Amino acid sequence: MRFLHLLATVVCLALAPPPSALVSAFFLPNISSIPPSLLPNVSSDAWNAFRNFSGCHAGERRDGLAKLKNYFNYFGYIPSSPSNFTDDFDDALESAIKTYQRNFNLDPTGQLDDATLKQIVRPRCGNPDIVNGSTAMNSGKEASLNATHFHAVGHYTFFPGTPRWPDGKIDLTYAFLPDNQLPDDAKAVFSRAFQRWSTVTPLTFTATDSYAAADIKIGFFSGDHGDGEPFDGVLGTLAHAFSPPNGRFHLDGEENWVVTGDVTASSLSTAVDMESVAVHEIGHLLGLGHSSVEESIMYPTITSRTRKVDLATDDVQGIQVLYGSNPNYTGSSSTPSTSQERETSDGGGPLTPGPRLAGMAIAAVGLGMLLL
Ligand SMILES: [Zn+2]
Ligand SMILES: [Zn+2]
């Protein structure tokens, strides 16, 4: 399976370059072994099989529904269960679907309609939407506001207890896992992502070579990497980050990360824009949770071949509640949502490349590509 994936990647890169394309590959060393149990997911979208549940509703029994329950459990929609999940479409699943639909601005039918499944299978952040049963996303606001228009109530959220970096910790350092041996252009992606947050807050971010001493530790990992949050291969979960002051920022080393170039023009349908994901995860590292505002950086999903790097008003307001504003911030760096680069349903939309995009270099992170 692994080699098939690699072959497909190479074929895609070889067959579809535009005439002016400069294709470069970005390799990472094999930093952790991949458990055999995860290999079946490596060559395809981790959640694609969920599309087969279209039309499924309460009272039915379908093979594989237990995996969907695991999905909802992972992201906080079904409480942790000591027993294995069944393939029955039970009340717990229906309730989870309704809550999910509210959080993602969908009609809360409790059924697996096409719009809901389309959202469920989108690649996303591995952080849960609901922590310890509580959420401040749409579903958590609904009861108090009695709102029917979910777009109107959704806004930024925080982790339970509202953790933040302490007042005396304004100047933060970050470092990259030395084993990853990231090239400079990949490191520059993170530098730009940090800059987007420092523009609107008093916080500063400085790279350091001392991984052990850094406040924020950035690493690419594959599969199970020891923190109880295993990565799942291509697409599915893309990255996750811990709340302050933990500082751990992990990315799935098996994604086809685009480091430079126009991700929307990538020939790889699984291409993921690294800066877009980095800006989101840094929001978590600073204390933001997920937002139901689709234009916000802290919205949980991002479609492949999509670039979304500008902080929305929702993100800026949230982070400034925690840290205040940068004295030099005039509000101009927050692009109105109407003109903001935003995600499209299938990643193929005609988005305008950001000003920093240059060339057409596609950087594919594939741990196993070293084997070639
Ligand atoms: Zn997230
Ligand atoms: Zn991790």
CATH number of the domain that residue 153 is part of: 3.40.390.10
**Has residue 35 been placed in a domain?**
no
Instruction: Report how far residue 254's alpha carbon sits from residue 231's, in angstroms, rounded to the nearest whole number.
Output: 9
Is there a cis peptide before residue 35, judged by omega within 30 degrees of 0?
A: no
Structural domain ending residue among the three candidates 88, 120, 152 = 120
The answer to whether residues 136 and 189 belong to one domain is yes
The answer to whether residues 143 and 190 belong to one domain is yes
The answer to whether residues 148 and 232 belong to one domain is yes
**Has residue 96 been placed in a domain?**
yes
Q: Annotated catalytic, 281?
A: yes
DSSP state, 77? S
Q: Find out whether 304 and 271 touch, Cβ atoms under 8 Å.
A: yes
**Has residue 364 been placed in a domain?**
yes
Distance 275 CA to ligand 1 centre (A): 14
Alpha helices in the chain (DSSP H): 2-15, 39-42, 65-74, 91-103, 114-120, 138-145, 150-153, 184-198, 274-286, 313-323
The answer to whether residues 163 and 236 belong to one domain is yes
Distance 114 CA to ligand 1 centre (A): 24
Instruction: Report how far residue 93's alpha carbon sits from residue 261's, in angstroms, rounded to the nearest whole number.
Output: 41
Ligand number nearest CA of 276 is: 1
Structural domain ending residue among the three candidates 87, 102, 120 = 120
Ligand number nearest CA of 238 is: 1
Instruction: Report how far residue 314's alpha carbon sits from residue 370's, in angstroms, rounded to the nearest whole number.
Output: 41
**Has residue 38 been placed in a domain?**
no
The answer to whether residues 103 and 131 belong to one domain is no
Digits of tens for pLDDT over the chain (372 positions)?
A: 333 333 333 333 333 333 322 223 343 333 333 343 443 344 467 899 999 999 999 999 999 999 999 999 999 999 877 678 999 999 999 999 999 999 999 999 999 999 999 999 999 999 999 988 887 788 877 544 444 444 445 699 999 999 999 999 999 999 999 999 999 999 999 999 999 999 999 999 999 999 999 999 999 999 999 999 999 999 999 999 999 999 999 999 999 999 999 999 998 999 999 999 999 999 999 999 999 999 999 999 999 999 999 999 999 999 999 999 999 998 864 444 433 343 333 333 322 222 222 222 333 333 333 332
Distance 238 CA to ligand 2 centre (A): 10
The domain total for the chain is 2
Ligand number nearest CA of 252 is: 2
Which residue carries 């890169």 as its tokens?
Answer: 13
DSSP state, 18? -
Distance 328 CA to ligand 2 centre (A): 35
Instruction: Report how far residue 271's alpha carbon sits from residue 359's, in angstroms, rounded to the nearest whole number.
Output: 16
Structural domain ending residue among the three candidates 62, 90, 120 = 120
Which residues, chain by chain, have CB under 5 Å from ion ligand 1? 125, 127
Ligand number nearest CA of 157 is: 1
Q: Find out whether 5 and 34 touch, Cβ atoms under 8 Å.
A: no
Instruction: Report how far residue 199's alpha carbon sits from residue 190's, in angstroms, rounded to the nearest whole number.
Output: 14
**Has residue 36 been placed in a domain?**
no
Distance 21 CA to ligand 1 centre (A): 32
The answer to whether residues 164 and 306 belong to one domain is yes
The answer to whether residues 129 and 106 belong to one domain is no
The dihedral of CA 331, 335, 336, 342: what is its sign?
Answer: negative
Distance 242 CA to ligand 1 centre (A): 10
CA distances from 181 to 191, 192, 249 (A): 16, 19, 16
Distance 268 CA to ligand 1 centre (A): 23
The answer to whether residues 161 and 242 belong to one domain is yes
Q: Give the pLDDT of residue 149.
A: 46
The answer to whether residues 277 and 138 belong to one domain is yes
Distance 20 CA to ligand 2 centre (A): 37
The answer to whether residues 97 and 169 belong to one domain is no
Ligand number nearest CA of 231 is: 2
Is there a cis peptide before residue 245, judged by omega within 30 degrees of 0?
A: yes
Q: Give the pLDDT of residue 84.
A: 85
**Has residue 189 been placed in a domain?**
yes
**Has residue 285 been placed in a domain?**
yes
The answer to whether residues 54 and 8 belong to one domain is no
Distance 100 CA to ligand 2 centre (A): 23
The active-site residue, picked from 254, 275, 281, 343, is 281
**Has residue 78 been placed in a domain?**
yes
Q: Give the pLDDT of residue 134.
A: 80
The answer to whether residues 154 and 94 belong to one domain is no
Residue 55: domain span = 48-120
CATH code of residue 113: 1.10.101.10
Contacts of 9 (CB under 8 A, 6+ apart): 256, 268, 364, 366, 369
